[in-house]
Structure 1
Amino acid sequence: MAEHTQLIDAINIRTAVRAYDNEPIDDDTARQLEMTLQPLNLIADLNIQLVRDQPKVFAEANASGHLTNAANYLAIVGPKNDDEAKERAGFYAERAVLAATLRGLGTLWVAGSWDRAEAARHCRVTGAQELYLGVVIGHPENHLEYQAKSYEELVEAQRTHRSTKTFEQFTAGMQQDERDAAPAWFKSGVEAAMKAPSAMNRQPVLFTYNAADDTAAAHIDPAAGDEHWALNDLGIAKLHFQIGAGQGQWAWGDGGLFIHK
């Protein structure tokens, strides 16, 4: 894994990790993660925090076998009643997830598989903020074996670890001739978004390309049934698309445009 240090590499190997080794995140790794979070929080006006060694937050999920040895998490904290902030939280917290992936750590976005009240006790949440979601983080089970795997082996594990919607489903608003004619950057962006995590693996984001002005757009698919976490999932998918496209920038919001520049 050492020679693969780009965010697109992290997209290509990241999987949802539910089982962890019973080994703490050491202070040096924690400092590196904090150094990643600080500028992201500043840019995004969020308060994403690393919380270590709090297994009570995941006691029920660990006891049921849904998770194993989950004890650390990123607390995704942001302004109350702010839809754009929820989208930014998905975008920038996933950026931290990809950085953690490149360090050999495992991650899992969680909405229901934790004790939210217990989680809130161990992070800073002001009266004007709320705890949106969490990301379990830690050393994957048998992590030394994991770190010894080649990049190609990890890519194959990512490809086969879950089902995904097809490219055609992700671009349901386009005709086949429009897909065929779309530029390589758009196709690469959609392919990267296909690997993005989402609540209940619903993958609720659709992409379209407009040849008239050479822009892409991202829309929440109301048929996906992801009304609770759709904005967060929209932000995650937009980040993956942007990395896959290689360059460019999104406008926030459902229907926001991507300019490739």
Structure 2
Amino acid sequence: MGGMAEHNQLIDAVNIRTAIRSFDDEPIDDDTARQLDMTLAPLNLLGDLHLQLVRNRPQVFAEANASGHLRNAANYLAVVGPKNDAEAKERAGFYAERAVLAATLRGLGTLWVAGSWDRAEAARHCHIRNGEELYLAVVIGHPEHHVERLAKSYEELAEFQRTHRPTKSFEQFTAGMSDEAREAAPAWFKAGVEAAMKAPSAMNRQPVTFTYNADDDTAAAHIDPSAGDEHWALNDLGIAKLHFQIGAGQGQWAWGDGGLFLHK
């Protein structure tokens, strides 16, 4: 598969991914699990992370399933990385969201969870090496009524993504820019921001803003301290950066709050 074909598929995944809270009770089969593990292996190498797929552990979500907040949640991506490492938390958001988009293209449903799970129970079922910690989890599985869902067109799924939840506006996502600067910004920057607007974030707080600097043709990503997302902001920064990069096309981020994106 060429780079361009893969990139177009990732844009499709960005445009149809939504948070799924209700799952069918059909397990993730061995073949699908193998394919997901094959996706995780290079992401772990690139990100120096320890992302893992854990199947058939409904007890991790027992309380949320019982309360109706989740339904039939039983599998998760364990987002594991180095302890006390801010950059690793950002990389975890970036690379685990890449796995989320791969799962989306396979017709699976996902949900990043900060609460709604038993962290201690989850930690018992994944491998956490010395010097590592479990940051967060992503619930994964077949969405409820997934057979009917698979019959929906790309356009129907993209329209649902666009309208299913409130989102901050383009202006809020580019809060550090004037109207003139927004207007003058290149198409790649606008496309990047629009893709980032579709990114998941803890408690849907969307704590990341973007600016464009015409002098050196770079973008920057910033954590918005007023979003009240101090616990998960670095993870959300990584997720938003991935979505921006996919939307913008070719280019690369520097890690960190205020990190620059060089468009290629």
Q: What TM-score comes out, normalization by structure 1 length?
A: 0.98
Matched residues, number: 259
C-alpha separation between the residues in 1 aligned to 2:219 and 2:249? Answer: 14
The amino acid of 2:200's aligned partner reads P
Partner of 2:193: 190
Partner of 2:221: 218
What per-residue deviation string (whole Å, max 9, x for no partner) do you get for residues 31-70 of structure 1?
0000000000011000000000000000000000000000
CA positional deviation for 1:13: 0.2
Partner of 2:260: 257
Match of 2:184 among 175, 181, 186: 181
The amino acid of 1:161's aligned partner reads H
What does 1:13-92 correspond to in 2, within 5 Å?
Answer: 13-92=16-95
Question: Sequence identity of aligned pairs in percent?
Answer: 83
Partner of 1:128: 131
The amino acid of 2:262's aligned partner reads I
CA positional deviation for 1:116: 0.3
When the two chains are superposed, the root-mean-square deviation of aligned CA atoms in Å is 1.0
1:107 aligns with 2:110: yes
CA positional deviation for 1:193: 0.1
What does 1:202-241 correspond to in 2, within 5 Å?
Answer: 202-241=205-244
Partner of 1:94: 97
What does 1:162-173 correspond to in 2, within 5 Å?
Answer: 162-173=165-176
1:6 partner SS:
helix
1:134 partner SS:
strand
What per-residue deviation string (whole Å, max 9, x for no partner) do you get for residues 191-211 of structure 1?
000000001111000100000
Partner of 1:152: 155
What per-residue deviation string (whole Å, max 9, x for no partner) do you get for residues 195-237 of structure 1?
0000111100010000000000000000000000000000000
Segments of 5+ residues of structure 2 without an aligned counterpart are: none
C-alpha separation between the residues in 2 aligned to 1:95 and 1:127? Answer: 25
The amino acid of 1:21's aligned partner reads D
C-alpha separation between the residues in 2 aligned to 1:202 and 1:241? Answer: 17
Segments of 5+ residues of structure 1 without an aligned counterpart are: none
C-alpha separation between the residues in 1 aligned to 2:47 and 2:181? Answer: 34
CA positional deviation for 1:126: 1.5
Partner of 1:116: 119
2:149 partner SS:
helix
1:74 partner SS:
strand
2:258 partner SS:
coil
1:143 aligns with 2:146: yes
C-alpha separation between the residues in 2 aligned to 1:8 and 1:195? Answer: 11
The amino acid of 1:182's aligned partner reads A
